[in-house]
Structure 1
Amino acid sequence: MAGLTQLFILLLAGASLFLSESLKTLRRSKRRWVLTTIVLEEGDRGPFPKLAGELFNDRSVNISIKYLISGPGVDEFPEPGLFTVDDTDGKVFVHRTIDREKTPLFVVRFDVADRASGTIVDKSLIFNVEVRDKNDNAPKFEKDVVNITLKETFSFENPVFQMHAFDDDKEDTANSDVIYSIVSQSPSTSGVTFSVDPKNGLIRGKGCLNYEAAKQIQIIVKAGDNGSPALSSSATVNIFVEDGNNHMPVIIDQKYEGAILEGTKSQNISRIRVEDKDTPKTPAWRAKFKILSGNEKGNFNITTDPETNEGILAVIKPLDFEGLALKKLQISVENEEPFASCVKGTMTRPDTSPASTISMNVKILDANDAPYFNPGKLIIREKEGIEPGTVLAKCNATDPDVVPNKIRYKVAYDPEGWVTVDENTGVVTSVKELDSESPFLNNSVYSILIHAVDDGEPPQTGTGTILLHVADINDNAPYLLSPYMEVCDQVKNPVLVIHAADKDKDPFAGPFTFEMSDETRIAKDTWKLGNTNDGSAELQILKNLPKGNHTVGMNIYDRQGHSATENLVVRMCSCPDGRVCEKLEPAAHFLGGGSIAVMLAALMLFILAFLLLTCLVCGSSKKSGGLPPFDDGNQTLIKYNEEGGSSLTQASPGVFSPAAKVGNDPEIQIKNRNAVGASPMSGIKGPEKKDMWTAQFPRSSVVDGDSLGQNKRSLGQAAVGLSPVGTSRQSKSDKWTARSSSGMPSPRQSQRENMYEISNGRYGTRLHSQNAPKDAFIEHVGELVTNRLHGLRDYEDDLISYKPCIYAYEGELERIESVDSFTFPDDMDNNFLDHLGPKFAALGDICRQ
């Protein structure tokens, strides 16, 4: 029971507290601030300070208070010090004139404070003080003076200009409402009147501008407001009229003529005069001419003289008298600027300008025309290598004149000199073989220019072109681009890449096929061809080679099988840096004692032979009347230091004198072939002497006595053995026999042609007509010896026998049986040389030569 009583008491206490709080919240409070309306008039002249309003706060009932004011117009920008308040009674004062346009509104704050303690006792009061507007500003234009330029042909369908004016008074009031109007227009009689829209200021016109009547129009525009009193301002609009094309050009004369020589050009064959009333040097005045008809081929052109405004007719493409002797042209003229005209007070532009036109006759004077080729380009195709004299083409040129002239042809351009042309018929004939490798070919086409010249006054020339397509044939063999290569001996089994080329074009060039020309076992063990790629091949060295040059024969085949044998020289060398061969030092030559002795002995023998020859000549001159006259020496150098082959035996190389055909008598030819006394080249004159004989120098001076008849005593072993040989190629066994004779000459004879040869082992050579100095020397000495033998034959019984003189005794010579007595099988070849080994490689090369 006691517990329920306590709970009831708590509920009553809670309810009472809630009720008291509710009544307190709903209690109405009194107004604390009372403020009259603060009114400020813009431009108020005073007197100042002037009462603007009053304040009251109910705190003044209980305590002594004072009023405070702050904010813009009091102690802040703008207008500080404008407002004050009486701190006792709350009256608000204004102290000077206010400009609304500068500060239209002031936001001030009022406070109330305990006068004793200075503590703020109530909330602040924020108040907006608005300045009442006064119509003290007139509308203002953006520019007081506006300049506008209008074309005379301007159409007033569009506005001319828009004026803009502003009023600084309060917006959306009568004080700031602007109205536009036109005050005046000068001159007023210009054919056009202007108006302005009162709301938006757009200036419009009506009528047509006339440059000749008024070049400038001035308009005064006013802008005013609706305030009380109303204020306004004005602006000036200057309209400058620019001349327009309202006058068409008119051609003064209606008859114009011109003349020009056919085939020529002219910049001025006639001038067309026009008149235009528009301002000179303007687009409205400048004339623009046009050829309406008669210029279908573009022969004529007409321009305008910028100074006189005249039309200048020119011929830019030559005319042809044979085509038409008189040209009729229709010419019109208009202005650069489109034409416009005023129709019923409105400026209009017609779709077609009323252009002024005239007709002009241009007379074409006859002249000599150049011939022309038909066709102008002649295309022919030939293969290279055709024989000279082949007819390639026939040119056909025609004279276009009314009375044709005679035409002659000539070659104008032929850089290789391949052709000639018949000047009457125009037939083009080759004079050289055509070569597809000529540098003057462009894509296998060789260009030739032919001129056709008439006999008119003056002569005229026409040009025709021959495009000669030269087809390539397989007339060039492949060749090595680099026939010499170097290999470092430090490299094991090196691989060389060899490159080939062919001057022929496809399909007579690459890809190439490479083969070894030497099929011997030594070559196969030393060299091996590897991969072949188009124009190159790999050559592998299979074993170590000694330093020096090694020759490899290569057969190179082009795509069509045309081949050539090329020698590749491979130099094995030392490479100090492992990449580049060392340079070859020039070999030093030293003469030993034996060499010097041989040279001295040869000199002594030469002197002895000269003395002996002098004695013989002097002795013979007593009986035969002297030697026949001869010319001076040939003044040529003869190479004496040629070394190699077997050594000389006893005597110096003999002088040979081949027998010759004398006249046309067969008996004389037979005698000369067997007799020693025959003159070697008698009966043969000029270059025929040299072209009939070939000879080889003997390795040994041991001579067969039969070659000089039976006269073994006269010259002993100092004569030369001669034997006639044929021009046919020798067999391998014959060559080996000649080269293996140990210096003994091996005579061979052919009955087809008188030709003499002396074998000299490895260094045997043939003397042809190009060896003129050597042939002449040998021929001349041979004639001396032969003439001397003739003289000795009659007096050989009176001659004193001289025993041989020993200059250096080295013992008796051991007679060696001649190698000519050896017999060799006929089917013997050089294959046994393949098995001699590398030490005999040089000997094998000598035998193969």
Structure 2
Amino acid sequence: MRTRNISLLLLVALAALDRSHGGNHSSRAKRELLVRSKRKWVLATIELTEEEPGPYPRIITQMTNDKREDDHEFRIRGMGVDEEPLGVFSIDKNTGFVSVHRSVDREEHDLYHIRFEVLDRITHERIDRELAFDVEIQDINDNAPIFSPRHIEADVKENTPAGDLEVGFKVTDADLENSPNSKFDISLTSQKPKVPKFGLKHTNGQSVRLTFEGCFDYNKMKKYEVILTAKDHGTPPLSSTAVVTLNIVDSNTHPPTFKKNQYRADVLESTIKRDVLRLSVEDKDTPNTPGWRARYFFITGNEEENYQLETDPETNEGILSVVKAKDYEKTTLAHLQIGVENEEPLFVCKGKSSGAVTPPPPQTVSVAITVIDVNDPPQFDKDLVKLYVKEEEEPEKLLFTPKARDPESDNFRYVLIEDPAHWMTVDEETGQIKSTQKMDRESPFVDKDSVYKVTIGAVDDGKPPATGTCTVLIHMADINDNTPKVVNKSAVMCGNKVNKVTVPVKDTDHHPYGGPFTFSLGGDDDAKSLKQRWKLDPASGEEVGLVSLKPLPYGNYFVPLVIHDQQGMSGPDTLEVIVCDCGEADVCPGKVPISIGFSAAAIGLVFAGLLLFLLLLLIITCQCGRKAFSHIPIEPDGGNQTLINYNQEAGGAACEALPMHLLNSKNGAAQTDGLKKDTRKIYHPDSAVDNSVKRYNPSGLGMGWSTLPGQGRRDTVGSFGGQDVYSTWMTKGSNSNREGYLRHQQSLSVLSSQQITNHIQRKLQTIEGNHNEPIKDAMDRPREFADEGRSIGCQSLDQLSLINLGDDLEFLNNLGPTFNKLGNICHQAIQDVNVQM
């Protein structure tokens, strides 16, 4: 680099000397020569070593110009200046010294191309053509060879043969290619353990593969660690390492061995049984691996395939089962030779042997099977019998007589095991199979191939009894015993669109007793009108087409049909044709599937109806339990206010008793509740009230009637048993009764029109009784009531709450025409009559 700098300085000096001695002409000629030679030229290549320690900034060269001696400045541009990487190089615009400001890395940029310009100091215009120079970075050994990857962990099977392993590395060095700094050597530094011996194999200049000699032994060592080193040729040399970890995976290197040399087992004759015997083995390989799992197989003794071998996946035991029954009369003792091996082939290490290695044969064991005699079932000559009969044949026909034999006994009987339609019977002694009723091929118990299955058995008298079976397949030949019918009994004809309907026809009989069919209109009584209205088109085939000859009113029409099969058998049938306006659809509105649902309004109406029903029920219940009226706010009559003791009554109607008399008390009592105020003072006249039964005597009573303006009326009763009776009725709804020392004041509210009607009727009867007229009706006579025992408990009607009604009597205006008429009559009678009794 120093030589190149001296050459550049000499060139600049020669140019300055020529300018001072040669004059302007020679200088101008030189410039023209340079311009003509190339438009842009490179002054020189400057070498710079990477990673120099400094100090920085450091001058690496100087730029000069011979155009002008002064009034100019220098400028550089390019990589390391105003292009990435920025700030590496700079130039003093006055002196032209080029400086580097930090160390550079050749592995990032090995060459910097920089452009050089000379500008007018005032106008900043270029006064000479653009020049350029390169800065080349010299390499040093600052990069060690690198393994990729730095660490490898791999699984290697124990039975892997000696040679190459699937473990490789790639090594690279970032220093200058093909230089000592980038050339390297790879070596195996160490391995643990030492056996087997590992090595390296170069696949190309930068890649290596791991090799080994010998065999792995999982039981001795399960993990290996190998260290590799890569070292370059630089000064000083650099190196790096890589680590290989090999995990040995167990393989089948140990054969399974039986724990016993011989096994014995007992099996019952003619018996299929699983898990008759279990065979145990030992294996030193890792459990639950293919090299440990055992596979058992028969060598000899199972030529008839009576036995089966399976492996228990949990215990690795061999399970011997009987899959085909053995006959004691043929075999009493069976000898089996059984071998065992692993699922994975056995691996034998070759070692230093050059020839092929043969693995040892599988281990075997002998098994003795003793067959125990049992009661054998009778055997039929044929286990499967096929019979061919015609359907609908007369019953009691002999169909089949089986033959069975029992090698141990001649005493056995025949039974019927399977007869789903109950068409058969079996003779217990001979086994004859007879039909008990006609057999129908179209029965659901007959399969699609017209076969009816019957199973019979032969049961011997052994202990326990044994049964042999025989299956009888009865193939039924078809006869023409069914008439054709339309598949759908009704069809829809959209009168606004078409005039024809087509309905398929089906005959359950097989060919040649089925279709194609021929059709005709039936109805002998109305054949003429049918033919005027309907036509069959087509009149033969697998489906019938019914055509209306004229427009029909919407409605339902029943069309009788006669359908003939191929053999001429016919049957009547009726097709219902629904003629309607389908609109845009193909279904009558009435035939559209109905979807039942309730809207919110419908649900509300249902609940409202229920509430109304409950309200009516509540009103009826309340009216049944309410107290009868003892006072009504109408013009008073002259009724008798006498207290009468009728003793006790038992068993009366619970809610219909209307207590019109006052309670008895010798000393008097006062009673008050929250709804009405009832003050009673009761006095017992000697001759009026007695504990014994009395009769009502209207004689000796006198009643006077008077009207008080604005107050109502005042009634005076002459006498009753020596006591005066005064009765005063007020129009405001209060009633004051005076009888001797008795005064009863009561305020009530009227509840219902029915109670008012009952009250008026009682008053009318009282008026009639006070007229001194003869009593014509026995029901009007006073009655004696004997003591009928203690009355049942009934809630007092006085306890009913009437506070919500008050004294509002407006409801009397809406009691109906029946009551109004009766009330007018009674009101008129009360005003006009004044009776003395």
Q: Does the TM-score normalized on the shorter chain lie above 0.5?
A: yes
Letter in 1 for 2:217: N
Corresponding residue number in structure 1 for 2:423: 418
Matches within 5 A, 1:569-584: none
1:333 aligns with 2:340: yes
Corresponding residue number in structure 2 for 1:596: none
Matches within 5 A, 1:104-183: 104-183=110-189
Give 1:120 deviation, angstroms.
Answer: 0.8
* Equivalent-residue separation in structure 1 for 2:282 and 2:242 (angstroms): 42
Matches within 5 A, 1:159-558: 159-188=165-194, 190-195=195-200, 197=202, 200-306=207-313, 308-345=315-352, 354-399=361-406, 402-442=407-447, 443-476=449-482, 504-510=509-515, 511-512=517-518, 514=520, 518=524, 530-531=536-537, 532-534=539-541, 557-558=564-565
Corresponding residue number in structure 1 for 2:90: 84
Letter in 1 for 2:412: I
Secondary structure of the structure 2 residue equivalent to 1:201: strand
* 1:384–1:470 Cα contact (<8 Å) kept: yes
Distance 1:241 1:113, change over 3 A: same
Secondary structure of the structure 2 residue equivalent to 1:301: strand
Give 1:36 deviation, angstroms.
Answer: 4.8
1:560 aligns with 2:576: no
Corresponding residue number in structure 1 for 2:51: 43
Corresponding residue number in structure 2 for 1:68: 75
Distance 1:195 1:346, change over 3 A: farther
* 2:52–2:103 Cα contact (<8 Å) kept: yes
Letter in 2 for 1:344: G
348-357 vs 234-243, which moves further:
348-357
CA-to-aligned-CA distance 1:34-58 (integer Å, 9 cap, x gap): 8454221112223444332233333
Distance 1:437 1:163, change over 3 A: closer
* 1:258–1:363 Cα contact (<8 Å) kept: yes
* Equivalent-residue separation in structure 1 for 2:273 and 2:180 (angstroms): 78
* Equivalent-residue separation in structure 1 for 2:259 and 2:434 (angstroms): 64
Give 1:241 deviation, angstroms.
Answer: 2.4
* 1:476–1:503 Cα contact (<8 Å) kept: yes
* Equivalent-residue separation in structure 2 for 1:528 and 1:509 (angstroms): 25
Secondary structure of the structure 1 residue equivalent to 2:67: helix
* Equivalent-residue separation in structure 1 for 2:146 and 2:177 (angstroms): 15
Give 1:369 deviation, angstroms.
Answer: 2.9
Letter in 2 for 1:365: I
* 2:170–2:206 Cα contact (<8 Å) kept: no
CA-to-aligned-CA distance 1:393-426 (integer Å, 9 cap, x gap): 1122343xx4245331122222333221111111
Distance 1:535 1:134, change over 3 A: closer
Secondary structure of the structure 1 residue equivalent to 2:218: coil
Give 1:127 deviation, angstroms.
Answer: 2.4
Give 1:441 deviation, angstroms.
Answer: 2.0
Corresponding residue number in structure 2 for 1:796: none
* Equivalent-residue separation in structure 2 for 1:119 and 1:438 (angstroms): 117
* Equivalent-residue separation in structure 2 for 1:93 and 1:544 (angstroms): 115
469-478 vs 66-75, which moves further:
469-478
Secondary structure of the structure 1 residue equivalent to 2:73: strand
* Equivalent-residue separation in structure 2 for 1:59 and 1:88 (angstroms): 15
CA-to-aligned-CA distance 1:690-740 (integer Å, 9 cap, x gap): xxxxxxxxxxxxxxxxxxxxxxxxxxxxxxxxxxxxxxxxxxxxxxxxxxx
* 1:373–1:396 Cα contact (<8 Å) kept: yes
Distance 1:436 1:215, change over 3 A: closer
453-462 vs 294-303, which moves further:
294-303
Letter in 2 for 1:428: I
Matches within 5 A, 1:667-678: none
* Equivalent-residue separation in structure 2 for 1:464 and 1:407 (angstroms): 15
Give 1:180 deviation, angstroms.
Answer: 0.6
Give 1:382 deviation, angstroms.
Answer: 1.9
Give 1:207 deviation, angstroms.
Answer: 1.6
* Equivalent-residue separation in structure 1 for 2:220 and 2:488 (angstroms): 96
Distance 1:406 1:196, change over 3 A: same
1:94 aligns with 2:100: yes
Secondary structure of the structure 1 residue equivalent to 2:163: coil
Identity %: 36
Distance 1:253 1:163, change over 3 A: same
Give 1:347 deviation, angstroms.
Answer: 10
* Equivalent-residue separation in structure 2 for 1:549 and 1:168 (angstroms): 101
Distance 1:26 1:141, change over 3 A: closer
* Equivalent-residue separation in structure 2 for 1:86 and 1:485 (angstroms): 110
More strand by share: 2
Secondary structure of the structure 2 residue equivalent to 1:38: strand
* 2:146–2:171 Cα contact (<8 Å) kept: yes
* 2:400–2:434 Cα contact (<8 Å) kept: yes
* Equivalent-residue separation in structure 2 for 1:239 and 1:569 (angstroms): 88
Match of 1:53 among 48, 54, 61: 61
Normalising to structure 1: TM-score of the pair? 0.56
Secondary structure of the structure 2 residue equivalent to 1:341: coil
Give 1:214 deviation, angstroms.
Answer: 2.7
CA-to-aligned-CA distance 1:74-97 (integer Å, 9 cap, x gap): 3443140x3233445533232332
Give 1:222 deviation, angstroms.
Answer: 0.7
* 2:279–2:319 Cα contact (<8 Å) kept: yes
* 1:135–1:175 Cα contact (<8 Å) kept: yes
Runs of 5+ unmatched residues, structure 1: 1-23, 583-849
Corresponding residue number in structure 1 for 2:670: none
* 1:331–1:360 Cα contact (<8 Å) kept: yes
Distance 1:163 1:346, change over 3 A: farther
Letter in 1 for 2:285: D
How many residues align? The count is: 551
CA RMSD of aligned residues (A): 4.5
Matches within 5 A, 1:536-685: 557-563=564-570, 566=572
Secondary structure of the structure 2 residue equivalent to 1:204: strand
Distance 1:147 1:484, change over 3 A: closer
Distance 1:25 1:161, change over 3 A: same
* 1:182–1:219 Cα contact (<8 Å) kept: yes
Letter in 2 for 1:441: V
* Equivalent-residue separation in structure 2 for 1:430 and 1:149 (angstroms): 76
Give 1:437 deviation, angstroms.
Answer: 3.5
Distance 1:346 1:141, change over 3 A: farther
Normalising to structure 2: TM-score of the pair? 0.57
CA-to-aligned-CA distance 1:636-657 (integer Å, 9 cap, x gap): xxxxxxxxxxxxxxxxxxxxxx
* 1:266–1:316 Cα contact (<8 Å) kept: yes
* Equivalent-residue separation in structure 2 for 1:549 and 1:40 (angstroms): 113
Distance 1:350 1:292, change over 3 A: farther
Letter in 2 for 1:429: K
Secondary structure of the structure 1 residue equivalent to 2:75: strand
* Equivalent-residue separation in structure 2 for 1:533 and 1:320 (angstroms): 65
Give 1:133 deviation, angstroms.
Answer: 0.7
* Equivalent-residue separation in structure 2 for 1:452 and 1:509 (angstroms): 42
* Equivalent-residue separation in structure 2 for 1:90 and 1:48 (angstroms): 17
